[in-house]
Structure 1
Amino acid sequence: MEKFDVVVIGGGPGGLDSGFRLVKAGKKVCIINDKKERLGGVCLNAGCMPTKSYLKAASVYRSAKKADIYGLSVSAEKVDLAKVKESVASGIAKLRMGIGMMSENSGAKFIFGKGEFQSANEILVKKADGTTEVIYGDKIVVATGSVSRELSFAPFDGEVIMNSDMMLENEKLPEKLLIIGGGAIGCEFATVYNTFGSEVKIVEALEQLIPNDDSDASAMLKERFEAQGIEVATGVVVEDIEKVGGKALVQFKGADKKEEYDMILVSIGRKANLESLNLDKAGVEIENGAVKVNEYLQSTNENIYAAGDSIGGYMFAHSAAYEGEVVATNIVTGNTLELDERAVPRVVFSNPEMASTGVIKAGNGVKELYVPGLMKGRPITDKTEIGLMKLFVSKENIVVGGVLVGESSTEIIHELVMAVQNKLTVLQLKQTMHAHPTYAEPIPHLAMSGL
């Protein structure tokens, strides 16, 4: 049995970041991942990277269709989804190649197969060729990612009832698409399919799109979606789905009759991928469907840590990578770095984009700074829509949060992330020179309103 200082289960952002950093710290590391071609995890292979490629294609198509407002004449043919998928795949192949080369040169040992605990320190790896291997780790990191949640009465079939992974493999543009769930995934796919020509409806059981985020920002997103022809229904629950003749008949709670759709995307969230790990054999407790961890990301077994979607909470690639760094630091130094989630960037790459960070609710000593229509210079020159920008500040005038809607929001948010993380004041933001004309330049003007 080969022994390692650290065994990492999972080759996504959390697993790779922790593993690579541990190697640099002088540790003997083994990283287990189900398949070599799936290194990079959900984000690279079936999440944030391919969806951004689809969204870019949608953006180009949208620009082509409205080229006349810029005095240009451009022909926008009907979308061939199979060709778009082929283009997306070529980009993902390059990224996979990069991850593969990085992994080969990392100094970590890689074993490809399904890992599960045999004891607190022993991991059994079941390989694709049917063979098995048992390895030992003084410390173990669980970073096994997540899977899509499904409706109990409507399991995924890959044809009519889809999850986000399946949508990325889809080559058929549905005439009518229902999206169940108004979170980031649902809103991004709504943008793609609406742009490409599908009739799209989003239903969300809670009272707003992007639940738990700023209500004004959500309202603007809903308004813009509806102006684009996307039907948005909040506070709506799906009670039943019946498949008939290759279509889906959907019963909404309280509705008199069922509605027919060609395809349904179920985007009601994701859950930690823990089922086959046998965590009980290692004395690791699960809480609310995720690995229970302390502020150092240490599980109920002091020698086992966890990062990324495995611990629930923010299921973002960037938060997983950060958590991997926290885990690596604490394994090396003996728990000296606490998890700090004050300034996690929360981004939605829809049209329009939406982004937020930190505290986004006034009250308890926090005030909201908001000047409607402030973001109008660059949008007018670019002929894009005027967005929304808010800051949230403490009674000491320290920036504690912010929210954006509009062009480049997913890029601009990092200035507010930096402000929150480093406890900058509104005066410091106001005194920071911004280039003109840019989408970020309203920030100091908004900050000035708080002085």
Structure 2
Amino acid sequence: MTRVVIIGGGPGGYEAALVGAQLGAEVTLVERTGLGGAAVLTDCVPSKTLIATSEVMTMIERAGELGLKISSSGEDDSIASSVEVDLAQVNKRVLDLAQAQSESISTKLEQSGVTVLKGSARLDGPQAVIASLDGTEKRLEADIILLATGTTPRELDTAPCDGERILNWKQVYNLTELPERLIVVGSGVTGAEFANAYDALGVDVVLVSSRNQVLPGEDQDAAAVLQDVFERRGMEILSECRAVAAAREGDEVVVTLEDGREVRGSHCLMAVGSTPNTADLGLEEAGIALNERGQIVVDKVSRTSQRTVYAAGDVTGVFALASVAAMQGRIAMWHALGDAVSPLDLKSVSSNVFTAPEIATVGVTQAQVDASEQKVAQIMLPLAGNARAKMQNVSDGFVKLFCLPITGIIVGGVVVAPSASELIHSISLAVAEKITVDQFSHDFTVYPSMSGSIAEAARQLHLHSHPEEEKASKTQA
């Protein structure tokens, strides 16, 4: 029987363990904090649970525009002003849900026959692991090893997080009362999501962005929509400003900017990236190569520079998504244990920014198109013309589709809308299965629906994917 040892119980680790057990391997998983890892305990599940609460507040804010009111309202005669946010209860629900999800994973692993050890671990060469368990060490021989150790929130030496006033994204759930004024440092996905959530909960938010627009790594048309929404809500955005320090002064936090200005608030959330958990893993001694960012280098089947050692998840720096980590872990086991496997294809990965509106993307990006990496036809349709959007009083957002000329094969898309994370799935299927815009547009959608705009975008791309027809129509005109 093949012996598999996995270090780390996040999505990459526990999904790999399930596949390994399914394929008949003897699987041991070592996890030091809790099954599910950061994705379940301190990142995806908690943050999206918090965001779910903020989404309800966003809908309540729009209630008056839809003709809804209550007879005894708050100070400004709106429904939103009559709703009080109990952050202690919100965060208790967040953490309870995360723990329940972790316990569910534990039960699933146990039922699958996976041995779970609570503790930390390090490599002892490429075919053994030393597990530290309650002060004792246990050597685990392994035919295959998978490293899925994740990342840790990055902190600035000049802005140490204390878990009370200066927080990283793992510590925000310690709060029992809403901040009076929250300074969010960093306008990437994490910073934008938390800024959006706390703004919706009624907090005065200041977003410090080192770029000229939020979400610098996302589709810039989509980022422009979100920036406009943030500003119309009254959020203060300090663009092209870099925070160099943060310190407590009594009940305040003072954030110092690179140009010498100071920003004061009651709390500060540092969302300035993450660092891979590779220290004290014995990687160098085992001959495991790292890149310049300290991440473990893997190939398309999750294998490291040692043929018996695989790695999955954020520690590899491939794509910081739970879904990608899980797929990397599965692929590693399929490959290592001789099952049928296809290499990881990032072109079919869909991702989402959980703001209001949400931003979902898949496949070819606008940046790649603009850099002429791939010749494509494209269309962008504002949601403002969509009947369902009008009914729901949604005016911010759009659908963007990319297809190959001549063949019309859909190669990418962007959706900016409420529940974009659900709407992107049809485009993801189109990209993965190489569906053409004509095939896509011939399938029925519900009327009225947001998804109708995706089909309409495909219909409008018909002539772009058939340049001879477009030329003929222009000639006739």
| Alignment TM-score, normalising by the size of structure 2 | 0.89
Q: Residue 174 of structure 1 corresponds to which residue in structure 2?
A: 179
Change (3 A) 1:386 1:194: closer
Q: Residue 58 of structure 1 corresponds to which residue in structure 2?
A: 54
The gaps in structure 2 that reach 5 residues or longer are 71-78, 463-477
Q: Residue 99 of structure 2 corresponds to which residue in structure 1?
A: 93
The question of whether the paired residues in 2 share the 8 Å contact of 1:208 and 1:234 is answered with: yes
Paired amino acid for 2:5: V
Q: How does 1:254-273 map to 2 (within 5 A)?
A: 254-255=259-260, 257-273=261-277
Q: Residue 282 of structure 2 corresponds to which residue in structure 1?
A: 278
Q: Residue 73 of structure 1 corresponds to which residue in structure 2?
A: 69
The question of whether the paired residues in 1 share the 8 Å contact of 2:302 and 2:332 is answered with: yes
The question of whether the paired residues in 2 share the 8 Å contact of 1:272 and 1:290 is answered with: yes
1:382 to 385, 389, 392: 392
Cα deviation for residue 336 of structure 1 reads 5.1
Cα deviation for residue 227 of structure 1 reads 1.1
Q: Does 1:248 align with 2:258?
A: no
Farther off after superposition, 81-90 or 135-144: 81-90
1:393 to 380, 400, 403: 403
Farther off after superposition, 374-383 or 143-152: 374-383
The question of whether the paired residues in 2 share the 8 Å contact of 1:375 and 1:388 is answered with: no
Secondary structure of 1:322 counterpart: helix
Paired amino acid for 2:436: T
Secondary structure of 2:221 counterpart: helix
Secondary structure of 1:424 counterpart: coil
- Distance in 2, matches of 1:443 and 1:85, equals 36
Q: Does 1:369 align with 2:379?
A: yes
The question of whether the paired residues in 2 share the 8 Å contact of 1:4 and 1:136 is answered with: no
- Distance in 2, matches of 1:403 and 1:367, equals 14
Secondary structure of 2:401 counterpart: strand
Tell me the alpha carbon deviations over residues 207-239 of structure 1, each in whole angstroms, 9 at most, x when there is no partner: 332222211111001001111122223322113
- Distance in 2, matches of 1:235 and 1:419, equals 37
Secondary structure of 2:98 counterpart: helix
Secondary structure of 2:447 counterpart: coil
Q: Residue 472 of structure 2 corresponds to which residue in structure 1?
A: none
Q: Does 1:310 align with 2:308?
A: no
Paired amino acid for 2:13: G
Q: Residue 413 of structure 1 corresponds to which residue in structure 2?
A: 424
Change (3 A) 1:449 1:419: same
Q: Residue 189 of structure 1 corresponds to which residue in structure 2?
A: 194
Secondary structure of 2:57 counterpart: helix
Q: Does 1:83 align with 2:55?
A: no
- Distance in 2, matches of 1:96 and 1:338, equals 29
The question of whether the paired residues in 2 share the 8 Å contact of 1:375 and 1:386 is answered with: no
Cα deviation for residue 299 of structure 1 reads 0.5
Q: Does 1:207 align with 2:212?
A: yes
Change (3 A) 1:382 1:168: same
Q: Residue 355 of structure 1 corresponds to which residue in structure 2?
A: 360
Paired amino acid for 1:209: V
Tell me the alpha carbon deviations over residues 34-59 of structure 1, each in whole angstroms, 9 at most, x when there is no partner: 14xx1011111011111111111112
- Distance in 2, matches of 1:315 and 1:371, equals 29
Q: What RMSD over aligned residues (CA atoms) do the two structures have, in Å? A: 1.8
- Distance in 2, matches of 1:238 and 1:95, equals 36
Paired amino acid for 1:447: A
- Distance in 1, matches of 2:9 and 2:201, equals 33
Q: List 4+ stretches of structure 1 deviating above 6 A.
A: none
Cα deviation for residue 420 of structure 1 reads 1.1
- Distance in 1, matches of 2:55 and 2:343, equals 40
The gaps in structure 1 that reach 5 residues or longer are none
Cα deviation for residue 335 of structure 1 reads 8.9
The structure with more radius of gyration: 2
Change (3 A) 1:373 1:101: closer
Farther off after superposition, 307-316 or 378-387: 378-387
- Distance in 2, matches of 1:88 and 1:334, equals 38
Cα deviation for residue 302 of structure 1 reads 0.8
Tell me the alpha carbon deviations over residues 181-231 of structure 1, each in whole angstroms, 9 at most, x when there is no partner: 111211111122111221111122233322222111110010011111222
Farther off after superposition, 209-218 or 329-338: 329-338
Q: Residue 41 of structure 1 corresponds to which residue in structure 2?
A: 37
- Distance in 2, matches of 1:348 and 1:273, equals 24
The question of whether the paired residues in 2 share the 8 Å contact of 1:176 and 1:263 is answered with: yes
The question of whether the paired residues in 1 share the 8 Å contact of 2:287 and 2:305 is answered with: yes
Cα deviation for residue 352 of structure 1 reads 1.2
- Distance in 2, matches of 1:62 and 1:261, equals 23
Q: Residue 450 of structure 1 corresponds to which residue in structure 2?
A: 461
Change (3 A) 1:108 1:373: closer
2:10 to 9, 12, 28: 12
Cα deviation for residue 440 of structure 1 reads 1.0
- Distance in 2, matches of 1:20 and 1:227, equals 47
Cα deviation for residue 61 of structure 1 reads 2.6
Paired amino acid for 2:381: V
